[in-house]
Structure 1
């Protein structure tokens, strides 16, 4: 039982809660589609095994009930596909095709298959096909714009089923027979009208109901809107509405004429809100978005959205939050009404209000996580109550549930080109909120897209500092996913932008990143050169902590290259700088790396002495895990020197320390004996020696 009875291509109708959900009409189409699943394909007839999934195509104009038919078909055959149903839309509400890589990533997320941030289309589609191999699943591709989109997402598994929904044929995909939809039969159309408007008036005047269904040409969306108009006007007769639709201009579609009639009958504030919902990102609206667009209170916006849902102009999204979707068939109609009734400046102002409200919500979403910051708490309390979240969990849930609309807001704001300042603020707050709630690694894919948008705006506006920051962030994400050569190109471009902006921080950061990319690529001489350039800049500004770290990176690069003398000199310099800074833990880690290099250089006695000094430093720094790791290294060195008894003593000390520090959940203790480079040095050296 539900009060959302029928989904007509994105339009839901409110029905009697006492009447169970039941699909209306389309008996012949369903029978043909189910028979088409069993039909032998051309490959089978020729004696070859089908190389790909069977594709069914449901073709029809927006508002014809094509998505509803696809959902009913999937419901009927779902038990034959135990690996579940995957759905994605291939067009934006305004008709813009969705990039294949975005659709593939959404499907991989639904399969809980991780995909590297910034991966190309071919890599993502290949990963999707690999994930679907051997599965019996149904893939619903709604609102496909062309055959290329569908073809790129087709599984190689012949046991899966693809149900594509499109306005026309998908020329280019073999062995596909489209099921083309027209209007509903008269009986089903009248019943749909009865569900939306109530059964009494339809029963009293069945001829008028049939005439109204004919005026709507049996189109489900038009019938739902017409029924909603009748539902909120209990005194109006069905014949009255049929007469009004008949006297309307013959131009446009039946749903267009019905929407025009409903729009004309709405109070002026509600009519304006309805028109402005065409600006809702990804066609998703909530009370805050509607409130910002219309310039009204959040509570009145919620009431208006509920009224629109009862009219069939919106449908409620199944979500813990009050969310509504603008049906795809209505979106161009509302946009046309907005262009006719609103001046361009008013539309731009409404967009700006919506973006500003989103920015403030994101600020609140992030501030609720900063529980230890008095300044953040003060800023949060200064916000209106409607913008505040009661606790971090509520903020995280809001961010997760509104993520599609938030990302769409960023894309639309950047594409608009006239609200770049707001777009930059929006992307900045969205990045911070995602990092605060989800972490950099979990949000890497979304962050990659946001940094790319920041780069677009920075290049368009000539903002070299922001361009450098975006390129550095994109380079870091490329490097983490193994695209080191691409990361190197990003870092070099970031260095040029940082120099143009005269930004010393970004310049040093870019130099060090270029060095790190060369180090990863095995070009140790260039790595040392770039680390040295960055070190010169740091020393000139007396940045001691950064200078000490760069000495360590240079020492690691020399170690990779087997230049142990140079490596020892740089690690000693790092130790000296950390000692000046009073950073005992970093000093102990650097001594640990120096001991490692001395061991590689064939000086075990010096390594033993340095390692003992590192143990003492770790003890004074109260870093128990580092002490334990150093005791293990001492044990290994003593064994090589032929002193197994002393080695056993140090190993026992390390085991006791690690036992005392073991987490309560039983997870392994974190290794802190050295830096990231040191772990790589050890593994590469061991591999070379092996």
Structure 2
């Protein structure tokens, strides 16, 4: 049923749910009841019936916990978090995601733990709760490294760098930008690499380190051209100055430690929002 919903086949999913409901009445199996309630909640969400969806999903959590159906429990909690976000309640979403994290931890689902830490971190970041965001980004990066998932590790470090940057912790932010850059370059993700070069350059310019900033700006400019992002390339060309050929880009970035100072207000936002 949920697969049908993913492909937009709402009516077929409703038909499947009706047949499943008849079967559950006969079997009285709490596991099947939990799975049915998850499907019914998904259908209600797709139809915009939020209160009905919440009732189904809370019932799914109750029955899944009773049946020790961890997958159904996790799915219901994730859908409840989505519902809270639709209601513009990030605090409520965090609560359900933390419950899902507890379930994933109990079952040893490390990949899901990584993704959940990342999602929780982004919500805290959106609320400017930087200490909490940092905690969850670091947890996501640590677990991702343990399970050898470079994409998840890179995304966690990218988020951590942004939080450190916004917190005014310049030295740590730059070190983390560089660490994330190395991973995204290894992965061949040019869009993320471009954005990180840009963000690092803005932070360096704010600190008066023009030489290293121009190194990152030039690399970002070349990536923008390669990706066909003419508008961003034009902005970067303006930052670099009229004579790009004289830009000092041959040397590697310096490793000097930079002192803290107020950050400029904006950073480039070309990165994906979520750890999928």
The answer (yes or no) to whether the contact 2:14–2:43 under 8 Å persists in 1 is no
1:156-175 to 2 correspondence within 5 Å? none
For 1:673, the equivalent position in structure 2 comes to 271
Q: For residues 270 and 63 of structure 2, what CA distance do their matches in structure 1 show? A: 36
RMSD, matched Cα: 3.2
Q: Return the match for 1:449 from 14, 24, 28.
A: 14
Question: In the superposition, relative to structure 1, how do residues 657 and 540 fare at CA in structure 2: closer, same or farther (>3 Å)?
Answer: farther
Deviations 1:440-490 (A, max 9, x none): 3442x2244235324532442324333322332343454456554443333
TM-score (norm 2): 0.69
1:323-338 to 2 correspondence within 5 Å? none
| Aligned-pair CA distance for 1:619 | 1.9
> Is residue 2:125 matched to residue 1:556?
no
> Is residue 2:101 matched to residue 1:532?
no
For 1:475, the equivalent position in structure 2 comes to 41
> Is residue 2:187 matched to residue 1:612?
no
> Is residue 2:162 matched to residue 1:596?
yes
Question: In the superposition, relative to structure 1, how do residues 581 and 517 fare at CA in structure 2: closer, same or farther (>3 Å)?
Answer: same
| Aligned-pair CA distance for 1:635 | 4.3
Question: Any idea what SS the aligned residue of 1:545 has?
Answer: helix
Question: In the superposition, relative to structure 1, how do residues 622 and 562 fare at CA in structure 2: closer, same or farther (>3 Å)?
Answer: same
Question: In the superposition, relative to structure 1, how do residues 458 and 501 fare at CA in structure 2: closer, same or farther (>3 Å)?
Answer: farther
For 1:466, the equivalent position in structure 2 comes to 32
Q: For residues 485 and 656 of structure 1, what CA distance do their matches in structure 2 show? A: 48
Mean CA deviation greater in 476-485 or 453-462 = 476-485
1:87-486 to 2 correspondence within 5 Å? 435=4, 440-443=6-9, 445-461=10-26, 462-479=28-45, 483-486=49-52
Question: In the superposition, relative to structure 1, how do residues 486 and 612 fare at CA in structure 2: closer, same or farther (>3 Å)?
Answer: farther
Q: Please say which structure displays the higher CA radius of gyration.
A: 1
Question: Any idea what SS the aligned residue of 1:673 has?
Answer: coil
Q: Return the match for 2:217 from 621, 642, 648.
A: 648
Q: For residues 478 and 638 of structure 1, what CA distance do their matches in structure 2 show? A: 49
The answer (yes or no) to whether the contact 2:201–2:217 under 8 Å persists in 1 is yes
> Is residue 2:62 matched to residue 1:496?
yes
Question: In the superposition, relative to structure 1, how do residues 634 and 487 fare at CA in structure 2: closer, same or farther (>3 Å)?
Answer: farther
Question: In the superposition, relative to structure 1, how do residues 475 and 597 fare at CA in structure 2: closer, same or farther (>3 Å)?
Answer: farther
Q: For residues 191 and 23 of structure 2, what CA distance do their matches in structure 1 show? A: 44
Q: Return the match for 2:138 from 572, 580, 602.
A: 572
TM-score (norm 1): 0.30
Question: Any idea what SS the aligned residue of 1:562 has?
Answer: coil
Question: Any idea what SS the aligned residue of 1:676 has?
Answer: coil
Question: In the superposition, relative to structure 1, how do residues 481 and 609 fare at CA in structure 2: closer, same or farther (>3 Å)?
Answer: farther
Higher relative contact order (CA 8 A, sep 6+): 2
Question: In the superposition, relative to structure 1, how do residues 619 and 522 fare at CA in structure 2: closer, same or farther (>3 Å)?
Answer: same
| Aligned-pair CA distance for 1:672 | 8.2
Q: For residues 270 and 13 of structure 2, what CA distance do their matches in structure 1 show? A: 29
Q: Higher strand proportion, which one?
A: 1
The gaps in structure 2 that reach 5 residues or longer are 230-268
For 1:139, the equivalent position in structure 2 comes to none
Deviations 1:183-210 (A, max 9, x none): xxxxxxxxxxxxxxxxxxxxxxxxxxxx
Deviations 1:486-539 (A, max 9, x none): 433332121122123321221222233323433443444443333222222222
For 2:263, the equivalent position in structure 1 comes to none
Q: Higher helix proportion, which one?
A: 2
Q: For residues 481 and 648 of structure 1, what CA distance do their matches in structure 2 show? A: 46
Question: In the superposition, relative to structure 1, how do residues 495 and 489 fare at CA in structure 2: closer, same or farther (>3 Å)?
Answer: same
Mean CA deviation greater in 645-654 or 634-643 = 634-643
For 1:658, the equivalent position in structure 2 comes to 227
The answer (yes or no) to whether the contact 2:201–2:214 under 8 Å persists in 1 is no
The gaps in structure 1 that reach 5 residues or longer are 1-427, 661-670, 679-690
> Is residue 2:188 matched to residue 1:622?
yes
Q: For residues 441 and 636 of structure 1, what CA distance do their matches in structure 2 show? A: 42
User: How many residues are matched?
Assistant: 233
